Amino acid sequence: MTDVARAATLLRTAYETGKPVPPLRGEVLPAGDVDAAYQVQRAQVVAWEAAGRRRVGAKVGLTSAAVQQAFGVFQPDFGVLFADMAVPDGAEIDRGRLLQPRVEAEVAFVLGADLPFERVTVADVIRATDHVLPAIEVVDSRIAGWDISIVDTVADNASSGLFVLGDQPRRLSDVDLRLAGMVLEHAGEPVSVGAGAACLGNPVHAVAWLAQTLAVAGAPLVAGDVVLSGALGPMVPVTAGAAYEARISGLGSVRACFEVGETA
């Protein structure tokens, strides 16, 4: 079994059993080999699609300069979104679906046109975007204790879990995303704050990077895709039974509610 196949098998086993695995870097995959990590991610995506999961978009990670510095990288990463990862606004989230959940507030872009270009401009993204929504990404890790490097998180589908979209769409032209302030609250108290500028300077920039990267890889974003553009503030560990509400100026709010039960 190759390193890539072994890493993919370990991660799929973690999904199936609900038990995290030790870090992959240095043990299963070469430390720092991001290309190998993306091969692992692709192997999992192929297996998931063969099993009937429907791809509905993509997510951008590592959009904060501080987080990039901590990982020793100088660009974002990405993962794939599937239809069964979507949770309705305010619906209770089954704790059994997750291992070590954390939440972060983001801007979601819903595309109305394809972005097949290997050089993507901000104007291309603006023209292709049908609407934007407030979103909460429930990030998760199959790596024990969130002991992750860039290799671990990329292989693990960019530490994807679930996502919750708001249900009041806004036109991109009606919102200044760079200056949009965000507060994520739990029990009425702020637990994370930020703004659009924390996401590569503007969430539109993150979507342009993703669109270009995926087009070069031969898997471009298409009309109807949902894009989670990256965190606007620090992610927060989930408390059992808690409800988290993200408010983003100009976009409204969205809630992620977790059932009572043990959290990792």
In this predicted structure, what is the pLDDT of residue 148?
92
Give 214: exposed, middle or buried? Use CB within 10 Å, 0-12, 13-18, 19+. Answer: buried
- Residues 154, 61: Cα–Cα separation, whole Å: 9
What one-character DSSP code corresponds to residue 21? B
Question: What per-residue confidence (pLDDT) applies to 251?
Answer: 98
Based on C-alpha coordinates, what's the Rg of the chain?
17
β-sheet with 189-195: strand ranges across: 92-93, 252-258, 243-248, 181-186, 189-195
Q: Are strands 92-93 and 102-111 parallel, antiparallel or unpaired?
A: unpaired
Question: In angstroms, rounded to a whole number, what is the distance separating the alpha carbons of residues 254 and 245?
Answer: 6
The three-state secondary structure class of 117 is coil
CA atoms within 13 A on the CB side of 30: 7
Output the six-digit token pair for 177.
Answer: 């995303």
Cα–Cα nearest to 14, from 138, 155, 165, 163: 155
d(CA 121, CA 114): 13
Q: What tokens does 60 get? A: 């951008």
Residue 21 C-beta-side C-alpha neighbours within 13 Å: 22
Using CA atoms, how far apart are residues 105 and 78, in angstroms rounded to an integer? 16
Structural contact between residues 43 and 8, judged by C-beta atoms closer than 8 angstroms: yes
pLDDT at 186: 97
Task: Report phi then psi at 165, rounded to 5.
Answer: -105, 140
Give the Cα separation of 121 and 31 in Å (integer).
Answer: 33
The per-residue pLDDT for 1 is: 64
Quote the CA–CA distance of 130 and 128 in Å, as a whole number: 6
* Spatial distance between the Cα atoms of 63 and 222, rounded to a whole number of angstroms: 22
| pTM, two decimal places | 0.95
User: Which DSSP string corresponds to 169-207?
Assistant: -B-GGG--GGG-EEEEEETTEEEEEEEGGGTTTSHHHHH
Per-residue pLDDT in tens (0 to 9) along the chain, 264 residues: 689 999 999 999 999 999 999 999 988 999 889 999 999 999 999 999 999 999 999 999 999 887 888 777 888 999 999 999 999 999 999 989 999 999 999 999 999 999 999 999 999 999 999 999 999 999 999 999 999 999 999 999 999 999 999 999 999 999 999 999 999 999 999 999 999 999 999 999 999 999 999 999 999 999 999 999 999 999 999 999 999 999 999 999 999 999 986 544
